[in-house]
Structure 1
Amino acid sequence: MSAGTAERAAGAADRRREQHGWYFYDFACSVYSTSVLTVFLGPYLTSVAKSAADAGGFVHPLGIPLRAGSVFAYSVSASVVAAVVVMPLVGAAADRTGRKKPLLAASAYIGAAATAGMFFLNGDRYLLGALLLIVANSALAVSMVLYNAYLPQIAEPGERDTVSSRGWAFGYTAGAFVLVLNLVLYTGHDSFGVSQSTAVRICLASAGVWWGAFTVIPLRRLRDRRVAAGGGRGAVGAGWRQLMATLRDMRRYPLTLSFLLAYLVYNDGIQTVISQASVYGSEELGLGQTTLITAILLVQVLAVAGALGMGRLARTHGAKRTVLGSLAVWTLILCVGYFLPPGRPFLFFLLAAAIGTVLGGSQALSRSLFSHLVPPGKEAEYFSAYEMSDRGLSWLGPLIFGLAYQLTGDYRDAIASLVIFFVLGFLLLARVPVKDAVTAAGNAVPDRI
């Protein structure tokens, strides 16, 4: 074996080791997204807020009258606004210093600690629940900036669809496994000697423990890359200046910005459906918590197959076409959901199956597609903008959802308002010439994209 061949083999082995460690951050944090944000916290925080509400069903934080049923949606929006302020600064600091890993550790453990603190959410402490949600959700968004920024560094261009899809599959596998444990505890809480509300609080807090425990694996396997000498001086103090420089720099890549705009729109719809589905199921469709857990478990199981299956479709049809197909399915899902009759678990399960089929793939392929549009050496900086679209700027959907319910008191009107995100996102993405965008960013164009 020649020296060059041996060096390439060693490099490939190191890359696979990092990829395996990278998958495990999805494995760690996706339990929060599934058990906390999607299943338990929405209905539980709503019930806590209702216990603190006045006779008209309103709570009054800072003297502002809010419907108790809108507290969760507004809290999600507030967490996104907080993340928007922090994410670009963290992304710029990571690129300037080359030290993504310490920043990933800090954001991950802040989020895990806030999630574990949800054990103390009871009685009428809805403000505590809102605060912990804001901290945990914004910390997750910040950590995902750094996590996603590793993708272009640990995967060759031809590998990224597969690597990204596997990361999502790892996350959904963890979400499904922990959700099974949650279902056992929740349905059998009497046999475990705890009340139903205590069982929910244990499920919430255990997601934080899981998040913190499995974050150790990526922290051991991922490595920081060196930056040019002097690149780290004043990184934190220059954060805002770097942010403005990033925004100015992105104007040089208008096709990358066009993709981000499309992704911002349709992903806002995806994130809102994920976060508000359990509230819609419990409050509008009258479904019990056990039914909701089972439905989300179905989503998790099918999302693993969906992420891997759509990754294979992308290899033959291209990532862009595959994502466009998934957006058409998302639009159909919302239309069906609007007309779903109450008290029909089987129909809700069918809808959950459809969501699971497109959920993982649409997110995984969007991430890998964007990785081709990032100029080399600016991964964390640009992925901070991407993450603002992913979790950071996904404030409009929850806000519209909350306002629709605030004004009408009808969750069906709230769910109908989300259709525009998928239709507009489809039209915007269809107009992006992705091959030209890859070339403009200075990257090699894969055979299929």
Structure 2
Amino acid sequence: MIWSILAALKTDPTEEARAQVQQRTPRYAGEDTTPTTRREILGWYAYGIAAEVFAVSGVGSFLPLMLEQLAREHGSLQDTHRPCWGDAAPDENARNGEQCVVGLMGLQINTASFAMYTFSLAVLIQALTLISFSALADYENNRKSLLLAFGFLGSVTSMLFVLIWPSIYILGAILVVIGVTCLGSSFVVLNSFLPVLVANDPSVQNPEHRTSEELSSFNRREDDFDWNEWSDQESVDGVHHHRSRSGTGLKEDEKPKSASPELQLSTQISSKGVGLGYLAAIIVQILSIVILITVSQTSLAKASGTWPMRFVLLLVGIWWCAFTYLTSRLLRPRPGPPLDNISSSGPGAGGSAKWRVWLRLVGFSWKSLWRTVKIAVQLREVMIFLVAWFMLSDALATVSGTAILFARTELKMSTTGIGLLSITVIVSGMGGAFLWPKVSARFGLKSNQTIMVCIALFELIPLYGMLGYIPFVKRWGVIGLQQPWEVFPLGIVHGVVGGGLASYCRSFFGLLIPPGSEAAFYALYAATDKGSSFIGPAIVGVLVDATGQVRSGFFVIAILIVLPLPLVWIVNAEKGRRDGLAMAEKLGKSKFAEDENGQDEAEGLLRGNN
């Protein structure tokens, strides 16, 4: 796939000629309705390959360890005030269970809690940032511009970790906040490309017979809805077609209707994107383990235990930057409606005027989000799913950080062992992204049922960790996460479940979105995600400070995972899609008038600076 992306940089005359043909009437001035090309799909994949490495190798593996180690090397034991790290530090037997703490704003914080609090703050700021900017992706060329801006800034942030020492560990926390913010915000913008690419793909429409209003129409019974029947399609020259079901012995009106081409293609692209991102993370993780082993044998590791991880984060940043550049070359802008009335104060405007323009645009984004919320509350299935996603995403975010810190601080796993654990999770996640659609089709599961199965399996992780509190199990010295090797089977469960949830939830929500409002609704989706994902880590941090044990966080995780189950069960995907199409038609009659009023208001505010 990487070679395919590189090869796509060379211009394909046939594909370029096809890209000049408009296949349906534009809905607004400047809309790009040219057929989606293979080069463009590869560009979409390229950014997943770029950023997923930081998500898995950085956020999911080494950044929590980096923060904890930076704080540990700067911290001291809570009672004796002896250093936690270095030649003067006592060994584990001499510590008598003392916590390693670091001073922050007059408080003594457990070093593991410091990492949890940092990530809690990071996802909160990430939510505010993506709300402030992501709605703008629906307009003009902002979608691609924002994607590249977040990608390049995030990659530089990862590379800057090579300069962070324990004495300036606070700067490490700031870099984590910036990196996590850029990562989440860029994925929101990337997700907003998916419905647009699918809507313009030649495999899901015939421009000679289908109109723009028919692009997302459904002609099937609600009780037959299942958008994962990939076994009923095959690929010819890269274009997906449905196999004929003749000869099955069923009458024409008795034959089960296949899922819409739009949903099949969306699910396929989404799943493949997740899988390719995990594959890239495997490559980088293998290189990271080589770096960890090599640097650990040098004098640098003796000066600071963070040096091996600093070089790993440098590699991750370079990878992120390189593939973001490939995305910039391959992905078309796919502009949204113009913001004709919002203008700057002119080329001669001073710095203060430019800041006022920026603030007005941020205000426009919040106002756009509020309009999206008002639309969303009228869509019952959207609201139910968002509430479920609010709780589920918090559980996902909490499990990742808690598991890494638990393995490091309580099971005493080495950094290399954490890297191997991460590879286990990644390989399992890649398999999950590709296998869950097959499993769903094999057992006839609807999309919400598949998500529920994933949630049920995910619940096994905290329940298994809680076994360590049972006295007779604790006496065994094994079972209940008492031995380092026990983490690996749970890592497989985490990866398989996480890969399925990442793909299914993203595509499932895309099904419910009113066409034409993709970026705005994905911003709401991510705001729901990040708006909750700071809660779990913060609660776990408080428990760790109170108990001195990361294991106590399993109680919180167990509750968070099970809460969304009944909500996912009652979501009716087909009804949600019909409601979304009806809402899109309704918005088509009033949206531009409303936008014009909002833009006129913004214009008046902006021109007030002249």
TM-score, length-scaled by structure 1: 0.91
Q: Identity of paired residues, percent?
A: 27
| Structure 1 equivalent of residue 485 of structure 2 | 346
2:398 aligned with 1:272: yes
**1:162 lines up with 2:301 in the alignment:** no
1:52 Cα shift?
2.3
Residue in 1 that maps onto 2:127 = 84
Q: Counterpart of 1:26 in structure 2: which amino acid?
A: G
1:403-442 deviation per Cα after TM superposition (whole angstroms, max 9, x unaligned): 1112211111112210111100112211222221111111
Q: Structure 2 vs 1, CA of residues 253 and 15 (structure 1 numbering), >3 Å: closer, same or farther?
A: farther
Q: CA 1:337–1:15 in 2, change beyond 3 Å: closer, same or farther?
A: farther
Quick check: 83-92 or 23-32, which moved more? 83-92
Secondary structure at the counterpart of residue 404 of structure 1: helix
Which ranges of structure 2 fall in alignment gaps of 5 or more residues?
1-17, 24-32, 79-99, 199-261, 344-360, 468-478, 584-610
Q: Report the CA distance shift for 1:139/1:203 in structure 2 as closer, same or farther (over 3 A).
A: same
Letter in 1 for 2:496: T
From 386, 394, 402, the equivalent of 1:260 is: 386
Measured in 2, the distance between the counterparts of 1:358 and 1:443 equals: 33
Equivalent position of 1:176 in the other structure: 282
- Cross-structure match for 1:401: 540
CA contact (8 A) 1:331 1:419 kept: yes
The yes-or-no answer on 1:374 pairing with 2:513 is yes
Distance 1:220 1:50 in 2: 43
**Quick one: structure 1 residues 320 and 341, their matched pair in 2 at CA, closer, same or farther if it must change by over 3 Å?**
closer
1:271-313 deviations in Å (ceiling 9; x for gaps): 2212332111111222222222111101111211110001223
Deviation per residue, 1:331-351 (Å, 9 max, x gap): 012211333556633322111
Larger radius of gyration: 2
Find 1:186's aligned residue among 269, 272, 292. 292
Partner of 1:198: 307
Q: Does the CA-based 8 Å contact 1:266-1:422 persist in structure 2?
A: yes
Aligned partner letter, 2:370: M
Q: Secondary structure at the match of 2:515?
A: coil
Alignment check: 8 A CA contact 2:428 2:492 kept: yes
Q: State the AA in 2 paired with 1:180.
A: I
Q: Is the 8 A contact 2:407 2:484 kept in 1?
A: no
State whether residues 58 and 313 of structure 2, in contact with CA within 8 Å, keep that contact through their aligned partners in structure 1: yes
Deviation at 1:68, TM superposition (A): 2.1
- 1:331 has 2:353 as partner: no
In structure 2, the CA distance between the partners of 1:26 and 1:275, relative to structure 1 (3 Å rule), is farther
Q: Distance in 2 between matches of 1:380 and 1:37?
A: 24
Q: 2:375 is matched with which residue: 249, 265, 268?
A: 249
Deviations 1:358-400 (A, max 9, x none): 1111111100000011111111111011112334531111111
Superposed CA deviations along residues 127-164 of structure 1, whole A, max 9, x for unmatched, are 01110000100111111110011111112332111111
**Contact kept in structure 2, 1:323 and 1:366, CA below 8 Å:** yes
Aligned to 1:38: 60
Moved more, 360-369 or 405-414: 405-414
Bigger mean CA offset, 165-174 vs 275-284: 275-284
2:526 alignment partner in structure 1: 387
Q: 1:87 aligns to what SS in structure 2?
A: helix
Deviation at 1:97, TM superposition (A): 3.0
The answer on whether the counterparts of 2:70 and 2:306 sit within 8 Å (CA) in structure 1 is no
User: How far apart are the structure 2 equivalents of 1:306 and 1:204?
Assistant: 26
The answer as to whether partners of 1:286 and 1:342 remain within 8 angstroms in 2 is no
The correspondence for 1:119, drawn from 145, 162, 172, is 162
Q: Which moved more, 1:425-434 or 1:133-142?
A: 425-434
TM-score of the pair, normalised by structure 2: 0.68
Cα shift at 1:237:
4.9
CA–CA separation in structure 1 for the residues paired with 2:296 and 2:158? 24
Residues 97 and 231, structure 1, Cα contact 8 Å, conserved in 2: no
1:106-145 to structure 2, matched below 5 A, reads 106-145=149-188
- Contact kept? 2:158, 2:317, Cα under 8 Å: yes
Partners of 1:185 and 1:192 within 8 A in 2: no
Contact 2:153 2:182 in 1 (8 A): yes
Change (3 A) 1:229 1:41: closer
Retained in 2: the 8 A contact 1:285–1:341? no
Match of 2:43 among 21, 31, 36: 21
| Structure 1: distance between partners of 2:157 and 2:314 | 9
Q: Which of the residues 195, 216, 232 maps onto 1:152?
A: 195
- The answer as to whether partners of 2:40 and 2:331 remain within 8 angstroms in 1 is yes
Alignment partners' CA distance in 2, 1:276 and 1:138: 20
The alignment covers a number of residue pairs equal to 439
Give the match for residue 359 of structure 1. Answer: 498
Determine if contact 1:278/1:292 at 8 Å carries over to the other structure: yes
CA contact (8 A) 2:464 2:481 kept: no
CA distance in 1, matches of 2:39, 2:531: 29
Alignment of 1:419-438 (within 5 A): 419-438=558-577
Change beyond 3 A, Cα 1:427–1:401: same
How far apart are the structure 1 equivalents of 2:498 and 2:383? 23
Does the aligned pair in 2 maintain the 1:117–1:205 contact within 8 Å?
A: yes
Q: Mark the CA change 1:191 to 1:126 in structure 2 (over 3 Å): closer, same or farther.
A: closer
Distance in 2 between residues matched to 1:141 and 1:162, nearest whole Å: 22
User: What is the alpha-carbon distance in structure 1 between the residues aligned to residue 71 and residue 150 of structure 2?
Assistant: 28
Which residue does the alignment assign to 1:447? none
Which of the residues 308, 330, 340 maps onto 1:221?
A: 330
Structure 2 partner of 1:410: 549
* AA of the residue aligned to 1:294: L
Distance 1:412 1:78, change over 3 A: same
Measure, in 2, the Cα distance between the counterparts of 1:326 and 1:264. 16
Q: Is the 8 A contact 1:25 1:215 kept in 2?
A: yes
| Pair 1:103 & 2:146 matched | yes
Structure with a larger share of its residues in helix: 1
How many angstroms apart in 1 are the aligned matches of 2:166 and 2:337?
54
CA apart distance, 1:190: 5.2
Quote the offset at 1:201 in angstroms.
0.8
Deviations 1:212-232 (A, max 9, x none): 111112222222234345457
CA contact (8 A) 1:372 1:443 kept: no
State whether residues 286 and 343 of structure 1, in contact with CA within 8 Å, keep that contact through their aligned partners in structure 2.
no
Q: 1:61: Cα distance to partner?
A: 2.5
2:438 aligned with 1:304: no
Report 1:54-65 matches (<5 A).
54-56=76-78, 57-65=100-108
